[in-house]
Amino acid sequence: MATPTPQIRSLYRRILRELPSRSPQTPSKTAHQKLSAPSPIQQRIRQTFSTSKTSEAVSRSQIHQAEQFIQYLQAQRMYATLIERYNPGMGMAEDERVRLTARRVGMDMPEEWYGTGKK
């Protein structure tokens, strides 16, 4: 396999950087740990980039398509960040959402609502 051009290598790294992590429960993984056990999509991307024998085999349209894919991944990451930021109650239980909504307008829920009223 011939060494890929710096542009192709850069595209490959940018794609890997933008891919969502496999398990959000383990945010402390390093880049080495992520690549030592690649996900199926990472394996497929690596296979696609490594099968092109020379830089001449990679056409401009393929490079453009890879750049568009990177932009799409960046937009999806930003979308998820914005949804999380501006809709903080999406993952909350109904009771907690009602309590926080009442607090937002300066009210507290009655004590019996917490205790006997809910049972």
The DSSP call for residue 25 is T
Q: Give the pLDDT band (50/70/90) at residue 71.
A: very high
pLDDT tens digits, 15-68: 988 887 765 555 555 555 556 778 888 888 888 877 765 556 667 888 888 899
- Over residues 98-112, the pLDDT tens digits come to 888 888 898 888 776
- CA distance linking residue 37 with residue 42, whole number of Å: 9
